[in-house]
């Protein structure tokens, strides 16, 4: 994968050289840590340090990689920039909707016969997405990966993929009726507990408490109303955690608990 991206970046750099634009683009990944998707954690990782988000300000354009002003974007943004320059903004803007212009790359996984990477027009109704990629028995879709929102079947008709509905970084996980949404939530919370860099208390302790909390509710050691206490904890994490990892745990937690409460309780 990185080899392919390297080739794309090299092509982009060549286009820049042909245009006599005097800068180079470098491709870096974060040594496997999820939190290194956060820009300042990636700088730390690139500088050979533990991948942890920095305090902001200063922002990357003031002090980024090696404390120098840095523009940092994901590869998809750079590739689209190149495409927009090539095809012209009007052609790109003709795709999508008023609030969600253009197309986007999606990774489709889970209970689908055609898992893979696809480029789709933004503003697509979720029901059309399910018709295209589902296996005929889709129960829920996690829009935006582990940090995103879980949309149940009853809301497919009213949900748009884009800023008018649910914006997404592109990960679409499909679950069919055979899946336990308790297990899905449990897996996400284990993931966040593991991937939390531990730097701030709301995230480090919060993720652990959410995981222990749903286990206790599932075993009947805590009443179902304890889920509402845990939802309040995610609200605190949303405002008190230092970076997007801890702030976004509320998304999967609340959407799964609200829509599949009966699967979480004892």
* Binding residues vs ligand SF4 (CB under 6 A): 35, 53, 196-200, 203-204, 241-243, 245-246
Residue 241 CB, shortest distance to ligand SF4, in Å, is: 4
53 or 64: whose CB is closer to ligand SF4? 53
Q: How far is the CB of 211 from ligand SF4 (least distance, A)?
A: 14
* Residue whose CB is less far from ligand SF4, 80 or 192: 192
Considering the complex, state which of residue 69 and residue 198 has its C-beta at the smaller distance from ligand SF4.
198
Angle at 101 (CA atoms; ends 148, 110), nearest 5 degrees: 35
How would you class 159 by CB atoms within 10 Å of its CB: exposed for 0-12, middle for 13-18, buried for 19 or more? buried
CB of 64 to ligand SF4, least distance (A): 17
Of residues 90 and 194, the one with the C-beta less far from ligand SF4: 194
Neighbours of 211 (CB within 10 A): 19
CB 261 within 8 A of CB 224: yes
Q: How many CB atoms lie within 10 A of CB 63?
A: 17
State both tokens at 119: 């480029």
Minimum CB separation of residue 218 from ligand SF4 in Å reads 25
**Which residue's beta carbon is nearest to the bound ligand SF4?**
246
Shortest approach of ligand SF4 to residue 192 CB, angstroms?
8
The answer to whether 125 touches 166, Cβ cutoff 8 Å, is: no
Query: C-alpha distances in angstroms, 176 versus 103, 107, 152, 204?
Result: 26, 17, 10, 31
CB closer to ligand SF4 out of 9 and 241: 241
């Amino acid at each position: 994968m990185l080899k392919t991206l390297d080739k794309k970046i090299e092509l982009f750099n060549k286009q820049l050289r042909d245009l006599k634009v005097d800068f180079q683009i470098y491709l870096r990944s974060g040594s496997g840590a999820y939190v290194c998707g956060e820009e300042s954690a990636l700088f730390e990782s690139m500088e050979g340090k533990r991948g942890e988000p920095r305090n902001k300000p200063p922002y990357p354009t003031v002090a980024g990689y090696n404390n120098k002003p840095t523009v940092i974007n994901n590869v998809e943004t750079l590739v689209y920039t190149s495409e927009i320059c090539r095809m012209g903004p009007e052609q790109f803007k003709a795709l999508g909707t008023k609030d969600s212009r253009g197309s986007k790359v999606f990774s489709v996984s889970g209970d689908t016969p055609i898992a893979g990477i696809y480029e789709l027009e933004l503003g697509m109704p979720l029901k059309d997405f399910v018709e295209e990629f589902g296996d005929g028995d889709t129960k829920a879709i996690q829009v935006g990966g582990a940090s995103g929102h879980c949309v149940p079947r009853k809301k497919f008709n009213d949900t748009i993929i884009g800023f008018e509905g649910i914006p997404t970084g592109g990960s679409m996980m499909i679950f069919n009726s055979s899946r336990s949404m308790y297990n899905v939530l449990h897996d996400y919370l284990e993931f966040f507990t593991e991937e939390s860099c531990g730097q701030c208390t709301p995230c480090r302790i919060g993720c652990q408490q959410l995981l222990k909390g749903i286990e206790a509710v599932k075993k009947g050691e805590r009443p179902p109303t304890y889920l509402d206490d845990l939802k309040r904890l995610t609200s605190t994490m949303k405002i008190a955690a230092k970076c997007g990892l801890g702030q976004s745990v509320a998304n999967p937690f609340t959407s799964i608990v609200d829509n599949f409460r009966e699967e979480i309780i004892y």
